[in-house]
């Protein structure tokens, strides 16, 4: 029997760049260990065009994605929240939280936007590898 997937929520400000990219990378690379979601503290109206273009370059189509608020997720419970917003999270997120220091690329020139994308990809891959290692550890007797 496979262990349950870790429910991971990626949060940023607008859910237009950082958290969307993290969710997409987690979904594509870590579907064996992560059930990802993303949300923004103050959701934008659309995904940033440079985010769509940058992820297309990685072979990941995000054109059907849209920004969501924390309220949009309803009462979904998560095992881990990754906060990239640089802001405090609401008190009602009662689960372990990690802070990822990722600059908001929304107003950056395209090459810098891609550098942020690559940084997020490395962070997500690190998380996936960590979760895979946890799955193979023998249970305590």
Q: What's the token pair of residue 108?
A: 């950056």
Residue 25 lies in a domain: yes
Q: What is the pLDDT of residue 1?
A: 65
Residue 138 lies in a domain: no
6-20, 35-49, 85-99, 107-121: the lowest-pLDDT one: 85-99
Residue 65 above 70 pLDDT?
yes
Average pLDDT for 28-57? 97
Residue 11 lies in a domain: yes
Residue 43 above 60 pLDDT?
yes
Average pLDDT for 71-83? 89
Average pLDDT for 109-131? 98
HSE-CB of 109 using CA atoms within 13 angstroms: 1
Q: What's the token pair of residue 110?
A: 């395209």
Average pLDDT for 56-79? 91
Number of independent structural domains in the chain: 1
Q: What is the pLDDT of residue 84?
A: 98
Residue 45 above 70 pLDDT?
yes
Q: What is the pLDDT of residue 138?
A: 57
SS3 of residue 37 by DSSP = strand
Residue 94 lies in a domain: yes
Domain that holds residue 76: 6-132
Q: What is the pTM of this model?
A: 0.93
- Distances in whole angstroms, Cα of residue 114 to Cα of each of 10, 16, 24, 52, 75: 18, 14, 15, 11, 33
The CATH code of the domain that includes 16 is 3.40.50.2300
């Amino acid at each position: 029997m496979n262990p349950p997937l870790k429910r991971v929520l990626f949060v940023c400000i607008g859910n237009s760049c950082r958290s969307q990219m993290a969710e997409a990378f987690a979904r594509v690379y870590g579907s064996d260990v992560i059930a990802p979601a993303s949300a923004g503290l103050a959701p934008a109206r659309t995904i940033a065009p440079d985010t769509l273009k940058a992820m297309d370059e990685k072979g990941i189509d995000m054109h059907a994605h849209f920004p969501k608020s924390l309220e949009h997720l309803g009462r979904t419970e998560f095992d881990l929240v990754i906060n990239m917003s640089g802001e405090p999270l609401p008190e009602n997120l009662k689960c372990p939280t990690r802070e990822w220091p990722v600059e908001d690329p929304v107003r950056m020139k395209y090459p810098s936007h891609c550098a942020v994308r690559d940084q997020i990809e490395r962070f997500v891959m690190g998380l996936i590898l960590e979760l895979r290692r946890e799955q193979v550890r023998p249970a305590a007797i």
